[in-house]
Amino acid sequence: MIKNRVLLASIIVVICVILGAGVGYYTSNLLPGEKSTNPGIPGLLWPAPKVILPFAAVDQKGKLFTHEQLDGKWSFLFFGYTHCPDICPVTMSILRQVYENLVKSNNAENVQVIFISVDPERDTPETLAEYTAYFHKDFIGLTGSREQIEQLARIIGIAYVHGEKNASGGYLVDHTASIFLISPVREWTGIFSAPHDAEDITRGFRAIESFVGKNTP
């Protein structure tokens, strides 16, 4: 009789553990390092977002900017150059609209927008300071030595190609048109491909932020 009760109690404990584990799994109490499947949010890079490796660059104030400054914030990265008259200002205006949308809904304190120059020779910190502030006072501009920018491009995995110089010394740069979203734990979690739309990106960001928040152990 006592033996039976012990057996029954054991069975109940086992069932509870199994149920508990199941409930835990479905409320996404994932084990460290474990990631849930991609629910099909557009632009979400999941379940294997790439970790952003260490880098160093120079910001628009002439100060050192490293990977550590990506920690704790959602970062929108856009690669471009200030001598790009058409696509870059259009994209920057869209990012301003996205940022203003997030400011309005009090979502912006943990968000930063970073313009990374693929033309560090012409884009000095002073040029970038004026360029980024023109679009929004909070925007960050990154430049650096040619090696630093090449390293940063390699880390993200983007391509850019400098064209030949013309008679007056001007040149064009081909560069990725996408906007990259880096999570507060420095993982490349989202990509917004061109053509861009501010409302699409705002919605996409909110969906990704909320999903990653619920699915990060």
Partner 1 sequence: MRTLVCLFLLLSMPVPRAIFAAGPVELADAWINEAPPTINVHAGYIRIKNKSDREIRLLSADSDAYEKIEFHLSKITDGIASMQKQENITIASNSEFAFSPGAYHLMLINNKRPLRAGDSVQLLLYFDHDMTLQVEAEVRKADPHAQHHHHH
- For the CA atoms of the chain, what is the radius of gyration? 23
**Nearer to partner 1 among residue 83 and residue 206 (C-beta):** 83
In whole angstroms, the minimum distance from the beta carbon of 185 to partner 1 comes to 25
Instruction: Give contact residues for partner 1 (rule: CB under 8 A).
Output: 82-87, 89-90, 93-94, 96-97, 126-127, 130-131, 133-134, 159, 168, 170, 172, 174-178, 193-195, 197-200
Closer Cβ to partner 1, 156 or 184, answer by number: 156
* Phi/psi-derived region of residue 144, left when phi > 0, alpha when psi is between -120 and 50, beta in every other case: left
β pairing state of 64-66 and 56-59: antiparallel
Minimum gap (Å) between residue 86 Cβ and partner 1: 5
Q: Which lies closer to partner 1 via its Cβ, residue 138 or residue 197?
A: 197
Q: Nearest 10 degrees: CA dihedral of 186, 191, 194, 199?
A: -90
- CB closer to partner 1, 67 vs 122: 122
Nearer to partner 1, 130 or 147 (CB): 130
CA 113 → CA 24, 79, 186, distances in Å? 36, 11, 14
Q: How far is the CB of 195 from partner 1 (least distance, A)?
A: 7
What type of residue is 163? G
194 vs 17: CA distance, rounded Å: 48
Nearest distance in Å: CB 172, partner 1: 5
